Amino acid sequence: MIRRFVSPLAAVAVLAVASAAAAGDYIVVASTDPSLVRGQSLDAGGRVELAPGRTLTLMHASGDVLRLKGAPGGIVLPARKANQAEADRLAILKVMVAPAARQTVGSTRTRSGICPSPESLATLDAIVQVHAAGCASSAGEALESWLAAHAPAGS
């Protein structure tokens, strides 16, 4: 009986680790290279083909935003891993940032009440919670404002 129980648990553990690793440590929030699309996941330490003159703005699972400039032969992303809580938050932010998710859902009223104004959402955790509660439009606007406020200076 224990054998039948251990095998499924091992499979679930392997899938959980694999899905966390597949999630990536960074998401693209802006790029001047058309092959790097908004919402795309990238792994820390990975090589990205980013030509000279092109820029790439990434958000790490911790909320840090960094802008990288292209170089001959591409660039290597900073080696920085996310913990599980950051990876879970980044998975939701990825959905919010992706181009297809930027459509207006309609009303700003949900089953739990009225959505908060985007201006009242000051942290990434608050933005993610509001998105999960069904207020995608408010959360999306708040995320765009947050990214603009936290983007590195310069181009």
Q: Which SS3 state, helix, strand or coil, does residue 153 take?
A: coil
**1, part of any domain:** no
**10, part of any domain:** no
pTM over cut 0.95: no
Cβ atoms of 131 and 88 closer than 8 Å: no
**45, part of any domain:** yes
**8, part of any domain:** no
User: Domain total for the chain?
Assistant: 1
**3, part of any domain:** no
Alpha helices in 36-135 (DSSP H): 84-97, 124-132
**108, part of any domain:** yes
Cβ atoms of 76 and 68 closer than 8 Å: no
Which domain range does residue 33 map to?
Answer: 24-150
Q: Characterize 72-109 residue by residue with b for buried, 16 or more Cβ atoms within 10 angstroms of its Cβ, and e for exposed.
A: eeebebeeeebeeebbebbbbbbebbeeeeeeeeeeee
Output the tens digit of pLDDT for each of the chain's 155 residues: 444 444 444 433 333 433 444 458 899 999 999 999 999 999 989 999 999 999 999 998 888 899 999 999 999 999 877 778 888 888 888 888 887 644 444 445 555 578 999 999 999 889 999 988 889 889 999 999 999 898 887 64
Task: Tell me whether residue 144 is exposed, middle or buried, using C-beta atoms within 10 angstroms of its C-beta: 0 to 12, 13 to 18, 19 or more.
Answer: middle
